[in-house]
Amino acid sequence: MLTVSRTLLWLGLALTGAPGVRSHPAADSTSPVLSLDVIPRALPDSPSGDYAPAIVDCPRTRPSIRLADRLSDDEASWVRRRRNNTIEPMRDLLVRAAIPDFDAAAYINRVRDNTTALPNIGIAFSGGGYRALMNGAGFLTAADSRNRDLAEHATAVAGLLQSATYIAGLSGGGWLVGSVFANNFSTVPALQRGAEDSPLWRFDRSILRGPRESGIGILNTIDYWRTIHDQVSAKAAGWDTSITDYWGRALSYQLVNATDGGPAYTFSSIANSPHFRDAEAPFPILVADGRAPGERIISLNATVYEFNPFEIGSWDPTTYGFAPLRWLASNFTDGTVGRGGGGLDDDNRDDNNCVRGFDQIGFVMGTSSSLFNQIILQNTTAAAADTPVPSFVVDAIESILRRLDRNENDIAQYEPNPFYRWNPTGQSHNADARQLSLVDGGEDLQNIPLHPLIQPFRALDVIFAVDSSADTHNSWPNGTALRATYDRVATEIGNGTLFPAVPDADTFINLGLNRRPTFFGCDAANFTSSRINDDDDDDDDLFVVPPLIIYVPNAPYTVFSNVSTFQPSYPLGQRDAIIRNGFNSATRGNNTLDEEWPVCVACAVLSRSWWKANESAPDACARCFDRYCWDGSTDTAPVRNYDPAYIIGPDFGSEENAAAGLPGSRGPWALSAMLGVAVLMVAL
């Protein structure tokens, strides 16, 4: 029976365009081809036309910092449009799930004008290097209704992307989110196919060697690094730089479909792209941690910063403010550009100038993943004669290291600090610092970017948390990231955020919660709701309980996807196999492991809505919640060695993948992050 199920699964899974895998015809032959094409970005917004920021005249209304006591006006206006645009896709998703004895279409029609009752959905993609990008890409593929061949086979989460209001990424998960939006909200299969002569998503070529171009050979590596070096040097003429500048520039070549990785593309220019402007895509957020002056170890009470198309800032009381992202690196002091005393001592700048272009999209993605500075650092400091990083880059990075404390090589430098002399709560860690130092968003153990999605003003009802963390000795998740967020909300820095209880790491493994999706916080009646005044004039204040968390861990469905966090390259067959595995994780093997999985997803999406409407869930949902909701039980017996077996079975493309360099058993795949660095140095 399992063999038959596997065969049906494979026949329904042509989602990656990998060699040897045939695609199903589109469900709608009239679908525009462009929906699956990688569309080049048309909005490079840096006024310099390159990587370096530029000094410009300030707008008539001076850029200023706002209190984190509400959504920004821009976000609030955008969310109203987005919520309206999610109604039809959500209704399609729920109708297709076919909850027994429930009319989903009639229900959505009834609550469509009630923003409190209409389900508010978020998706969060964890960090974990390329493993996180690829595993998350599998989930995103399943969730995207534009992949018509998949929607035809009624994947459980098809349309979830179109139904979501927010999407967040961190580190490797941030590369996924950033790359999708950097390429005009392209689909994952389109990014896998790439464009002709483009290095887009060509992970078979190490980021240290740069993209392969025909007829150039190894000289291409020198040209690649010289271009990056010249661009960073141009920025360094007016602003301090860090290793993250080199890392972010290199990363962009693989993630942005533009010449030289789009050096003039900015994160804030997403706000001007058609899909975002028209609220046809979720609101993207990347996450980084703040490092206080003199701090060496990032603790759970570190300030969490977010980047969104409109702003950079933090809801935490240690900052409690947001700056307009487009004007980052302007001289904010006491919350406004032009107050005096906030600028650098450069002759070509004064406090009345404004700056644009500092939020280069690769630098933002690199900031969220600055832990990966180590990939460059380990290779520039190696004595090996055949290191792919040329000597002029090694010299430049050594110069940066001489300027920095050696223990601060994982930072991204934001100077001048936009929150200089901004201290509305009296708790700021950085109000007196000219530089804001940001590091990889997972360094505080919150490796799933849940922090921006549990803010009461965003009022999310359900969050799909895709976890690709490397918590165990062989790089599988064990719920540590969920637990970190749960622990943090109970502290003073939690600032009113709410999160359902989750168990310890050993319980996650002993009860199998890291081998299948698990729901946390199912029964809203178990929580005391908090009333949040949203400052609108419609008397529609928010009544907030913790969101229901749908935890979707990386697990070995059809391939051992526990590759090392620091592995720098992947044969394309391996890339596609891991993406397929992520698809199976999102869909329970395209429903072969649980034919009621679509019903259970729909029940989870509607759970908070029914509670708010004081309506009972259908009986089919009660059965789903019995299966997937954590019931509070624990098993804390220490786990000595977690080495899981296949959940479905080997990918039917394994022979082809083996020829491409894929391992055929779990042993070679189970590399720890530390071992990955060693393998990286040997391989290169």
pLDDT digit string (tens) for 445-455?
Answer: 999 999 999 99
Considering the chain, what is the average pLDDT of its residues? 83
Query: Is the pLDDT assigned to residue 177 strictly greater than 90?
Result: yes
Query: Is the pLDDT assigned to residue 155 strictly greater than 80?
Result: no
pLDDT value for 673: 35
> HSE (CB half, 13 Å, CA atoms) of 238?
20
Question: Mean pLDDT over residues 323-340, rounded?
Answer: 88
Q: How far apart are CA 210 and CA 167, in angstroms?
A: 29
pLDDT value for 298: 81
Query: Is the pLDDT assigned to residue 573 strictly greater than 70?
Result: yes
Q: What angle do CA 667, 560, 37 make, to 5 degrees?
A: 145
Q: How far apart are CA 193 and CA 18, in angstroms?
A: 9
pLDDT band at 643 (very low <50, low <70, confident <90, very high): very high
pLDDT band at 12 (very low <50, low <70, confident <90, very high): very low
- φ and ψ at residue 232, rounded to 5 degrees: -65, -40
In contact, 379 and 684? CB cutoff 8 Å? yes
- Please state, for a pLDDT cut of 90, what percent of the chain lies above it: 64
pLDDT value for 526: 85
pLDDT value for 659: 39
pLDDT value for 389: 75
Q: Which of 15-24, 191-200, 355-364, 536-545 has the lowest mean pLDDT?
A: 15-24
- φ and ψ at residue 279, rounded to 5 degrees: 55, 40
Query: Is the pLDDT assigned to residue 11 strictly greater than 60?
Result: no
Question: Mean pLDDT over residues 409-433, rounded?
Answer: 90
The yes or no reply on domain 2-683 and CATH 3.40.1090.10 is yes
Q: Which residues contact 243 (CB under 8 A, 6 or more apart)?
A: 370, 373, 376, 377, 397, 400, 401, 409
**Tens digits of residue pLDDT in 356-377:** 999 999 999 999 987 776 666 6
pLDDT band at 3 (very low <50, low <70, confident <90, very high): very low
**How, if at all, do strands 283-291 and 321-324 pair?**
unpaired
pLDDT value for 405: 57
| Of the candidates 360, 337, 359, the residue with the CA atom closest to the CA atom of residue 350 | 337
Query: Is the pLDDT assigned to residue 18 strictly greater than 50?
Result: no
Concatenated DSSP letters for 410-458? T-EEESS-TTTT--TTS--SSTT-S-EEEEETTTTS--S--GGGS-GGG
Query: Is the pLDDT assigned to residue 664 strictly greater than 50?
Result: no
Query: Is the pLDDT assigned to residue 261 strictly greater than 60?
Result: yes
Q: How far apart are CA 332 and CA 475, in angstroms?
A: 42
**How, if at all, do strands 54-56 and 354-356 pair?**
antiparallel
Query: How many beta carbons lie within 10 A of that of residue 464, not counting itself?
Result: 26
User: What pTM value is reported for the model?
Assistant: 0.88
Query: Is the pLDDT assigned to residue 465 strictly greater than 50?
Result: yes
- Report the SS3 class of residue 584: helix
**Tens digits of residue pLDDT in 185-205:** 999 999 999 877 788 999 998
Q: Domain spans of the chain?
A: 2-683
Chain center to CA of 384? 34
Concatenated DSSP letters for 341-390? S-S-S-TT--TT-EEESTTBHHHHHHHHTGGGHHHHHHHHS---TT-SS-
Rg (alpha carbons) of the chain, rounded to whole number: 24
Element holding 67 (H helix, E strand):
strand 66-67
What are the structure tokens assigned to 469, written together? Answer: 């963390």
Query: Is the pLDDT assigned to residue 439 strictly greater than 70?
Result: yes
Q: Which of 17-31, 83-97, 585-599, 621-635 has the lowest mean pLDDT?
A: 17-31
pLDDT value for 243: 87
| Residue listed under structure tokens 């600055």 | 370
**Tens digits of residue pLDDT in 214-236:** 544 454 788 888 999 999 999 99
| Of the candidates 467, 580, 565, the residue with the CA atom closest to the CA atom of residue 516 | 467
* CA distances (Å), origin 249, targets 52, 241, 246, 352, 554: 11, 12, 5, 29, 28
pLDDT band at 584 (very low <50, low <70, confident <90, very high): very high
Hey, which of 36-40, 146-150, 304-308, 489-493 has the most confident mean pLDDT?
Answer: 304-308
pLDDT value for 677: 34
Q: How far apart are CA 226 and CA 215, in angstroms?
A: 18
- φ and ψ at residue 578, rounded to 5 degrees: -70, -40
Question: Mean pLDDT over residues 493-514, rounded?
Answer: 96
pLDDT band at 388 (very low <50, low <70, confident <90, very high): confident
The alpha carbon torsion through 63, 68, 70, 76 (nearest 10 deg) reads: 50
Q: Which of 21-35, 165-179, 281-295 has the lowest mean pLDDT?
A: 21-35
CA-based max dimension of the chain: 75
pLDDT value for 305: 97
Element holding 481 (H helix, E strand):
helix 480-489
Query: Where are the extended beta strands (E) located within 294-360?
Result: 304-307, 311-314, 321-324, 332-333, 336-337, 354-356
Question: Mean pLDDT over residues 519-531, rounded?
Answer: 83
Q: How far apart are CA 188 and CA 464, in angstroms?
A: 18
Question: What ranges in 29-184 are assigned the alpha helix state H?
Answer: 73-85, 87-97, 104-111, 129-143, 148-151, 160-163, 172-182
Query: Is the pLDDT assigned to residue 44 strictly greater than 80?
Result: yes
pLDDT value for 657: 46
Q: Which residues contact 201 (CB under 8 A, 6 or more apart)?
A: 179, 191, 192, 194, 254, 255, 575
Specify which residues 548 forms β-bridges with: 462
**How, if at all, do strands 166-169 and 283-291 pair?**
parallel
